[in-house]
Structure 1
Amino acid sequence: MSVDGGSVDRREGHAPGVVNGVVSGAASSNQRLRLNPSKEHKPESYEGLQLDFSPSIFSSLERYLPPNLLSVPRDDKVKFMREILLKYLPHGERNRVQKQREYRQKIISKYQPLHREIYTMHPANTFVPSFLKAISDNTEESFRSIMSEPSPGVFSFELLQPSFCELLLSEVENFENWVDESKFRIMRPNTMNKYGAVLDDFGLETMLDKLMESFIRPISKVFFPEVGGATLDSHHGFVVEYGKDRDADLGFHVDDSEVTLNVCLGKQFSGGELYFRGTRCDKHVNTGSQSEEIFDYSHVLGRAVLHRGRHRHGARATTSGHRINLLLWCRSSVFREMKKYQKDFSSWCGECLREKKERQRTSIAATKWELLRREGESTT
């Protein structure tokens, strides 16, 4: 299980297990999670707490609590759910989780933020008015009114105010200067980028959680329901940097996410286009692309691109200047669990859909041939 991935080993079809301890007298050792979530229950917020897992995972899991635990104090719910989550972590993964937590706490305890105002979500200071209006209306029509879909499954829209982009860039630069001066060894965003920083690691996790929950999840629920868009419950937030003395380009790949938000923060640059080549499941990730799947996108300051994580893509070389992008990999533990039991992904994998259509075409052709054969026999 990956904590960053939020892939909680919780099967929908049966109760995931027995909690070993007792939670303030409310939870006994034989209590299990509900088989189906309580749709009417409104989960609490777990932001600001020192947790082993993302606060969003606790909010998502709360709907599955036994009825008698839905009204107990939040701390009691945390203890109950934490025991369940830890039960499904291999021992080695538990150690990794603990080390990750200690690593972040060490950074946050020593690093002094430059712009504390961006560590809390202030929508009016963060987003352009057209985006806020679309989110407020919360309909497919309102979302489409601010978006373009230049290629199937790739949505582009104005998102961040230039002033917020400047503040975030300044904060990242301040963090990188601190890293250099303190000689603190940080972990990079992923295995493909040698430059950039994980925003969650130096205190921006809560703000990015809010970005995912209140602004990206409503859109993903409409446009990406087949890959868990409605159940996004954890994220990995980071910036990447391209240009001279930075990463040059990014190879062809898929993201470790269900839905990816990619926003250009600046600065002045040329090149760096994203190229998309169709969405694929694990089985078909290396198959060829159809002509309608080939699409290139040029970055614009403050403008976002939203796509499925399994939409294959890469970044061409940044030929001059310095390009910095904000990436938010949004993940769904429910989708990841359910995906284990599926074999057909034709609702979102282009190659699965092509194979399904070919099977249907072959079946129809065979049926027609058989009908013609029988008709011929009946006339002889």
Structure 2
Amino acid sequence: MLLHGEGFLHWPMLVGKLQGAQVARSSLEEGVPVPRLQKTPHAGHRPESYEDMEDLEYPATLYSVMEQHLPSHCLGASREKKLAMLERILAKYRPNGERAKKHREYRERIRHNYQPLHEDLYTLDPERFFVGSFLDAIKDGSEAAIRHILIEHSPGVFTFNMLKPAFCSMMLEEVEHFERWAQDAKVKVMRPNTMNNYGAVLDDIGMEEMLNLLMTSYLNPMAAVLFLNVGGTSLDTHHGFVVQYAMDRDLDLGFHVDDSEVTLNVCLGKQFEGGDLFFRGVRCDKHVNGEARPEEVLEYSHVPGHAILHAGRHRHGAKAITSGQRTNLILWCRSSEFRELKKYQRDFSSWCGECLLRKKERSRRLSSAKRQLAS
């Protein structure tokens, strides 16, 4: 699901703003106030699908996620009435209406005018796209089967063979085809984020449903095993894009963390040298600029078709490419539930490396003091 860049609405942040705040009264029907979103989603509630509705200001998945946080008495309303409630809530907390309007117009122009080169990419065909080892592990579903295909290069950084060469080639060709169309149509391509100047958001060109299926059916089983403590069991939205590095484009990517709970990074190719990824451990906001311990330091060379899976809060970057061109498929997977819980959580020792180290040190000192008193 697309929620990216400056000026775009971030769903968990929206809920945080609404907690404890009275939403201004606006009429859905005369005299009826806009409801207040609940902090936690309604367990067992199956939200409406808004995929078939036209002229939505935001991606359809956002409305489905938000619906689960409506008060109980609103859940039985018609889909149209629930949509009206959600639209009014969004309008109240829109950070930049003009930017959102431009993005909506941008997506509409693509939807009505862009003709995909490889329509097969827009639906997920696992037998054609995934290598056998990955597909077998997901079909098995057990922790043992999933871990069998993984290499853990340093704590929390996993790699595995994932995509067949045919998929990689098709995706590269599709992105190049889109770039040529945009140039001919004089459409300025909206880039994936504020750090990358080249690449495209795949959700914008019609791959949102395909990428959502990739997350829910193929990445969620892995994330539930590997990233239980950072929302891996409740991934519900995504931001999918490709980034490009070449001598005449972006050369590298600075040290950062992702706006995700779990990140998938798959190398599509082409021929290149350099551009290694480097990792420096998972940190909370308080310790994000802290030093890395030796066991957290990792440099990894991309392999086409192979994927890297890591926590979004795992600090990383990319070294400069020295020749050729490297294009990567990135999927930021997010959990609304985890982000809500995180706002109220004081102890991050279950997932922040620095918090964990300090907690262990406190426990060691306490144990030492107790032994001294006992003697």
- Whether 1:40 aligns to 2:19 is no
| Kept in 2: contact 1:231–1:335 (CA 8 A) | yes
- Structure 1 residues 318 and 335, CA, compared in 2 at 3 Å: closer, same or farther? same
Q: Aligned pairs, how many? A: 368
Alignment of 1:219-298 (within 5 A): 219-298=222-301
CA distances 1:123-157 after superposition (whole Å, capped 9, x unpaired): 33322233233323333223213222222111212
Q: Which has the greater radius of gyration?
A: 1
Separation in 1 of the partners of 2:15 and 2:21?
Answer: 6
Structure 1 position 70, deviation (Å) = 4.5
Correspondence for 1:376: none
For the pair 1:209 / 2:212, whether they are aligned, the reply is yes
Q: Is the 8 A contact 2:255 2:316 kept in 1?
A: yes
Match of 1:78 in 2: 83
- What is the one-letter code of the residue matched to 1:146? I
Deviation at 1:200, TM superposition (A): 2.0
Structure 1 CA distance for aligned equivalents of residues 303 and 69 of structure 2: 42
Distance in 2 (CA, whole Å) between partners of 1:242 and 1:366 is: 54
- CA–CA separation in structure 2 for the residues paired with 1:152 and 1:292: 8
Q: Deviations over 1:269-311 (max 9, x none)?
A: 2222211110111111111110111112221111111101110
Q: Is 2:122 aligned against 1:119?
A: yes
**Cα distance in 1, alignment partners of residues 324 and 203 from structure 2:** 26
Superposition pairs of residues 18-37 of structure 1, within 5 angstroms: 20-22=26-28, 29=33, 36-37=40-41
Give 1:230 deviation, angstroms.
2.4
Map 1:5-16 → 2, pairs under 5 A: 5-10=10-15
Question: Take 2:251 and 2:301, find their aligned partners in 1: how far apart are those partners?
Answer: 16
Equivalent of 2:61, from 53, 56, 62?
56
Is 1:357 matched with 2:360?
Answer: yes
Q: What 5-or-longer segments of structure 1 have no aligned partner?
A: 373-380
Q: Structure 1 residue 148 and structure 2 residue 159: aligned?
A: no
Question: How far did 1:20 drift?
Answer: 4.1
Aligned to 2:309: 306
Per the alignment, residue 194 of structure 1 pairs with 197
Q: How far apart are the structure 1 equivalents of 2:138 and 2:69?
A: 27
1:315 aligns with 318
- The answer on 1:218 being equivalent to 2:221 is yes
How far the C-alpha of 1:108 sits from its partner, in A, is: 2.9
Aligned residue identity for 2:44: E
Query: Cα 1:84–1:142, aligned 2, differ >3 Å: closer, same or farther?
Result: farther
Is the CA contact 1:5–1:234 (under 8 Å) kept in the aligned structure 2? no
| Residue 100 of structure 1: aligned partner | 103
User: Partner residue of 1:378?
Assistant: none
Deviates more, 1:119-128 or 1:64-73: 64-73
2: distance between equivalents of 1:152 and 1:365?
28
* Percent pairwise identity: 52
**CA contact under 8 A between 1:11 and 1:338: conserved in structure 2?**
no
Change in CA separation of 1:264 and 1:306 when aligned onto 2, cut-off 3 Å: same
Q: Which amino acid aligns with 2:110?
A: I
Unaligned 5+ runs, structure 2:
none
- Aligned amino acid, residue 39 of structure 1: A
TM-score normalised over the length of structure 1: 0.85
Shift of 1:220: 1.7
- Farther off after superposition, 182-191 or 50-59: 50-59
Q: Which letter maps to 1:79?
A: A
Alignment partner of 1:137 is 2:140: yes
Name the amino acid aligned to 2:341.
M
Flag the 1:107–1:148 CA change in 2: closer, same or farther, 3 A: same
Q: Distance in 2 between matches of 1:348 and 1:45?
A: 34
Which of 324, 344, 347 lines up with 1:344 in the alignment?
Answer: 347
Structure 2 CA distance for aligned equivalents of residues 67 and 263 of structure 1: 41
Residue 252 of structure 1 aligns to a residue whose secondary structure is strand
